[in-house]
Amino acid sequence: MRSSSTPPGAWRALRDALDGTVLVAGDEGYESARPLFNGRFAHLRPAAVAYPEHAADVAACLDLARRHGLPVALRSGGHSYAGWSSGTGRLVVDVGRMAGVRVDGDTAVVGAGARLGTVYDLLARQGVTVPAGTCPTVGIAGLTLGGGHGVMSRAYGLTCDNLVGATLVAADGREVVCDAERDPELFWALRGGGGNLFGVVTDLRFRTHPAGRTVSADLTWPWRDARRVLARWQEWTLSLPDHVWSALRLVSASDGPTVAATVFSLDDRDELERLVDRLPGGTRGADVREEPHADAMRRLGGDQDGESGPAAPHHYDVRSQFLPDLLSPAGVDAVVGAVGAAGPGIEAVVALVALGGATNRVGRDRTAFVHRDSRFLVQHEAYWTPGAASSAPASASAPSSGVPPERAAGDWLERVHAALRPHASGEAYQNVPDPRLRDWARAYYGDAVPRLRRVKSRLDPDRMFSHPHTI
Ligand SMILES: Cc1cc2nc3c(=O)[nH]c(=O)nc-3n(C[C@H](O)[C@H](O)[C@H](O)COP(=O)(O)OP(=O)(O)OC[C@H]3O[C@@H](n4cnc5c(N)ncnc54)[C@H](O)[C@@H]3O)c2cc1C
């Protein structure tokens, strides 16, 4: 979409037309409306940030954008790893005021702007839940549209697998409802196609599951055991029942690297302890807790992410890969070597998430989330404090002295990604948009690309909804 400057009168007219709000530079509240979750994108200055209250407000925002050739960006929780829910000169349509959560029979109707923490808490009051991710401030729309894995996905599938219908406002302002009967192609595409693609999703309807008691265990090992633990943990995940989930994190830290696992179960403590006893060290060093589902989700989400956002913005850069099989000893060496050699100035993480179970029982062509035969999702994450520079290299290949942390992070991500390439499928998680990927469409969507393109050109022929990785 061509970009132009929007006359002040157009903003005044939009403000009068909306039940919601629109903020332009200079308005009180504009500066605090701008930031995304990742402080790396703090420089972005949208033309305006609109907070529609309902579908008609959304249509009015899109109408203004169309008439003035203004590019739009859609925002739910604002956690896009690439910063694509904002953009300098764009009209940000933030669905945060459309965040209602209600139970309707065996489904939950969730406003597109609801954050995961709120979804878990409100649904738990009625004894139910929806399988979703861990971070409480992630938005339900962004998460679901790209897939959505979490501690219940081996038991009940991804968040998108539990979607039974959705409503969106299309580029021409029409409200479109889709489900298995109404526009099933759009419904297919919304389950993994990614955000900001077909229209502004306003609400999502999910199948619910009981939110019972849960039991989980946190384990840590000394770094000298990292190779043995990674090799054993991978094998061990193959024997897990579907109601048990686990992730392993290898983390570089200023006081030395660590390796830690979380194990989460929807069944009882005895079974979990028996399973954990098959890992090195077993339950001896494990912190095992039984707690109601919503408490577990709150604890797993950490306390750094209050609904109002973190006290200090996080700065991070992340890439993803899928592993079709267990890592060979060379792959294990690559992971442990990369974390061990991460330079100072960044915290480097390789996180492996066990897939399988219900996630992998869905056929590759049943939804637009195609990564169904992968055993593990691997995320490479680099965190830093802005302004700090890495002072000394940790190895010959580590960043050299004085390298700004953002570059050190990028270099480390490049190295770890390259080291794992021979062991990975070549696919990438569309909820971890990665501007460095060359064949990004194939990496996110595999054979689903032509089918997604057909839905895109039908719903959004003029490509009102676009970002650098729009199919
Ligand atoms: C701290 C953290 C923890 C995470 N944990 C998990 C996890 O446990 N599991 C997991 O699967 N993923 C996880 N993710 C990845 C997460 O799923 C993606 O970043 C997701 O896209 C974020 O959604 P959002 O709504 O918060 O972000 P946003 O930045 O608001 O949106 C993401 C994308 O969706 C688009 N979009 C937003 N709202 C709409 C709408 N209403 N209609 C159409 N398009 C829209 C945006 O334009 C953007 O392209 C995590 C990310 C972070 C930063």
In a domain, 140, yes or no: no
Does the beta carbon of 136 lie inside 6 Å of ligand 1? Answer: no
Cβ neighbours around 7 below 10 Å, total: 10
Domain extent at residue 305:
214-436
* pLDDT tops 90 at residue 22: yes
Query: Are 292 and 427 part of one and the same domain?
Result: yes
**Total count of domains within the chain:** 2
Report percent pLDDT > 90 for the chain: 89
State the Cα–Cα distance between residues 445 and 161, nearest whole angstrom: 16
**The pair of three-digit structure tokens given for residue 149, joined into one six-digit string:** 């894995």
* pLDDT tops 70 at residue 348: yes
Does the beta carbon of 142 lie inside 6 Å of ligand 1? Answer: yes
pLDDT attached to residue 5: 79
> pTM of the predicted model, to two decimals?
0.95
Least confident of 47-61, 87-101, 280-294, 423-437: 280-294
pLDDT attached to residue 4: 55
Does the beta carbon of 201 lie inside 6 Å of ligand 1? Answer: yes
In a domain, 178, yes or no: no
Residue to substitute in 37, 49, 72, 80 for testing ligand 1 pocket (most ligand atoms within 8 angstroms of CB): 80
Residue to substitute in 36, 41, 143 for testing ligand 1 pocket (most ligand atoms within 8 angstroms of CB): 143
Does the beta carbon of 189 lie inside 6 Å of ligand 1? Answer: no
State the Cα–Cα distance between residues 210 and 420, nearest whole angstrom: 38
Strand 315-323 and strand 287-292: the pairing is unpaired
In a domain, 404, yes or no: yes
Instruction: Show which of 75, 94, 113 is a domain's final residue.
Output: 94
State the Cα–Cα distance between residues 220 and 259, nearest whole angstrom: 6
CA-wise closest residue to 263 among 359, 120, 151? 151
In a domain, 413, yes or no: yes
Distance 158 CA to ligand 1 centre (A): 14
* pLDDT tops 80 at residue 309: no
State the Cα–Cα distance between residues 78 and 38, nearest whole angstrom: 8
In a domain, 200, yes or no: no
Contact partners, residue 412, CB within 8 Å, separation at least 6 = 338, 342, 343, 346, 348, 380, 382, 398, 399
Q: What is the pLDDT of residues 158-209, one digit of tens each?
A: 999 999 999 999 999 999 999 999 999 999 999 999 999 999 999 999 999 9
Per the listing, tokens 């200090």 go with 312
Q: What is the CATH number of the domain that holds 218?
A: 3.40.462.20
Tell me the three state secondary structure of residue 384. Answer: strand
Query: Are 79 and 219 part of one and the same domain?
Result: no
Q: What is the pLDDT of residues 121-160, one digit of tens each?
A: 999 999 999 999 999 999 999 999 999 999 999 999 999 9
* pLDDT tops 80 at residue 312: no
Distance 448 CA to ligand 1 centre (A): 21
Mean pLDDT of the chain: 94
pLDDT attached to residue 403: 86
Q: What is the pLDDT of residues 352-392, one digit of tens each?
A: 999 999 999 999 999 999 999 999 999 999 999 887 665 54
Distance 8 CA to ligand 1 centre (A): 31
Instruction: Show which of 94, 116, 140 is a domain's final residue.
Output: 94
State the Cα–Cα distance between residues 34 and 36, nearest whole angstrom: 7
Instruction: Show which of 78, 94, 110 is a domain's final residue.
Output: 94
* pLDDT tops 50 at residue 238: yes
